Amino acid sequence: MGADQHLDWISAAAATLDWWQEAGVDVLVDEAPRDWLHAPMPEAPALPRPAPAGSAPVAAPAPPPAATMPDALDAFLAWRLGEAVPEARWHGISVASSGPADAALMVLVDCPDKDDGDAGTLLSGAAGRLFDRMLAAIGQSRDTVHLAAVCARRPTAGRMPRDVEDELATIARHHIALVGPKRLLLLGNAASRAILSAEMPGSRGSLHPFNHTRGTTEVVASFHPRFLIEKPVAKAEAWKDLQLLIGGLSA
């Protein structure tokens, strides 16, 4: 392979990785190494035995009833950190939401960052410092917004598992309804999917109505601060999203 061909291959690979990140891929590999060549083959599921001739058909077991979520915010926040939620099976520390219960502005991220469990707060590291500056630029702070995550505990791979995505989205929507904010800022692709059922790049640039039991909340989707640290050029677009978010909020 010539030098020019080698450089073309590197450029193509870099462009592909950039496209994946723009499309919402949060991590490219698991945090723990995996030997794919020697991974055990999954066991075949056992086939049900046929019922004896003349016997009554046996009904399939009913799925367990969905956990009832509390209708009061304080009770819900305590329930959110308990054993009835999908994340209770994951390793790590659950991180509570923060901010006023009656905040006019709510912010929803995908999940805690790596250091958030030990810090006891969402967005505690470099992404959090950028987030604080973003809030300050629109006259807000952590004391004035209600900050929450779709996943209360960080997934092993750093992104929301698809098998519990719908359940976590239902929990997040209930959380929003209990706060009843005027505006909601979704940071990142997973948060956009959970609330708008749409990928973040395509849902940016508009106010989306989200109807719930307490009325309607206007929703803005934007980039997660983690992405803005990696792609500073996107900050100009993020600023447009913040202006859209805050416009007319005090009215």
* CA atoms of 110 and 122, how far apart (whole Å): 10
| pLDDT the model gives residue 14 | 46
| pLDDT the model gives residue 7 | 44
Determine whether 199 is exposed, middle or buried from the number of CB atoms within 10 Å of its CB (0-12, 13-18, 19+). middle
C-beta of residue 121 within 8 angstroms of C-beta of residue 160: no
Count CB neighbours of 128 within 10 A: 19
241 — pLDDT class (breaks 50, 70, 90): very high
Rounded to a whole number of angstroms, the CA Rg of the chain reads: 22
Residue 64 has pLDDT above 50, yes or no: no
| pLDDT the model gives residue 20 | 47
Amino acid at 17: L
* CA atoms of 137 and 147, how far apart (whole Å): 17
- Span 57-67, average pLDDT: 38
pTM for the model stands at 0.74
Q: How far from each other are the two terminal CA atoms of the chain, in whole angstroms?
A: 64
* CA atoms of 50 and 223, how far apart (whole Å): 53
Residue 70 has pLDDT above 70, yes or no: yes
The listed range with the strongest mean pLDDT (24-33, 156-165, 223-232) is 223-232
**Strand pairing class (183-187; 105-109):** parallel
pLDDT tens string 160-207: 888 899 999 999 999 999 999 999 999 999 999 999 999 999 999 999
- Span 87-107, average pLDDT: 94
Q: What is the mean pLDDT of the chain?
A: 81
159 — pLDDT class (breaks 50, 70, 90): confident
**Beta sheet of 208-212, edge-to-edge order:** 145-149, 105-109, 183-187, 215-222, 208-212
35 — pLDDT class (breaks 50, 70, 90): low
| pLDDT the model gives residue 8 | 52
- Span 205-229, average pLDDT: 95
pLDDT tens string 77-93: 999 999 999 998 898 89
